[in-house]
Amino acid sequence: IAADYSAVDESNLDQLLMSLSPELSVYTYKMLSCGINRSLLGSLTDELMQTACGITNPIHRLKMTQAFQSQISLISRK
């Protein structure tokens, strides 16, 4: 069962996290509560993900960091 964040997730952050791995969707609420949206993902440090977003699993942080960096790389090529 997936939560519906459409009313508060204009940047489709949950959709992105789900596309990376459905298990990462558990972080959507905390990230949105902290004011994080897709435009800020490239600025997230490992420390911010851990302390502000509550992402304690280092493998999850690594997956997210790699995906966010890839996304930024694609955008900067345009």
Q: What is the pLDDT of residues 37-69, one digit of tens each?
A: 988 998 999 999 999 999 999 999 999 999 988
Does residue 3 lie in a domain region? no
Residue 4 placed within a domain: no
Q: Please, what is the average pLDDT of the chain?
A: 88
Is the pLDDT assigned to residue 74 strictly greater than 80? no
Judge whether 43 lies within some domain.
yes
Q: Is the dihedral of CA 38, 44, 30, 74 positive or negative?
A: positive
What pLDDT is attached to residue 78? 60
Asked if residue 1 belongs to a domain, the reply is no
Q: How many CB atoms lie within 10 A of CB 20?
A: 15
Residue linked to tokens 């952050």? 13
Residue-range definition of the domain harbouring residue 42:
13-77
In-domain check, residue 45: yes
Pairwise pLDDT comparison (77 vs 29), residue with the higher score: 29
Q: How many domains does the chain have?
A: 1
pTM: 0.81
For residues 49 and 40, what is the distance between their CA atoms, to the nearest angstrom? 12
Please indicate, yes or no, if residue 5 is contained in any of the structural domains: no
